[in-house]
């Protein structure tokens, strides 16, 4: 069975979900990762690993978007686009991800 091309709307929806997942991880809010590994909450490295998993997911969806020529940059601030293009989750990314957003209110 052959599937058709992936619709741009589908990738944009997945991009939005991945961005939300990463931002919730940054804010130490509940994500699907918490449900998969509930025992990890007891370990100090949990939040770093949770952020890393969310960052990897975001980069993967961006990569697919780029490969399929789906415009993804409009979902992010200019600074966030630069972080994503560098592909390295550094302390700068963790500290400044929300810095240039219009609203100081983080994800709910």
Question: Of how many residues is the chain composed?
Answer: 108
pLDDT value of residue 49:
84
What number is the average pLDDT over the span 66-74?
Answer: 95
**104 pLDDT band (50/70/90 cuts)?**
very low
What number is the average pLDDT over the span 30-36?
Answer: 77
pLDDT above 90 coverage of the chain, percent? 54
Please state the pTM of the whole predicted model: 0.81
Distance, C-alpha 58 to centroid of its chain = 4
């Amino acid at each position: 069975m052959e599937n058709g091309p992936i619709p741009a709307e589908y990738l944009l929806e997945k991009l939005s979900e991945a961005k939300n997942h990463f931002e919730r991880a940054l804010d130490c809010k509940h994500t699907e990762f918490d449900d998969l590994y509930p025992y990890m909450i007891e370990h100090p490295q949990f939040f770093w690993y949770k952020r890393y998993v969310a960052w990897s997911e975001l980069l993967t969806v961006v990569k697919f978007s780029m490969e399929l020529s789906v415009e993804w940059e409009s979902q992010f601030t200019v600074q966030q686009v630069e972080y994503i293009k560098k592909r390295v989750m550094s302390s700068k990314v963790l500290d400044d991800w929300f810095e240039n957003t219009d609203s100081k209110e983080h994800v709910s």
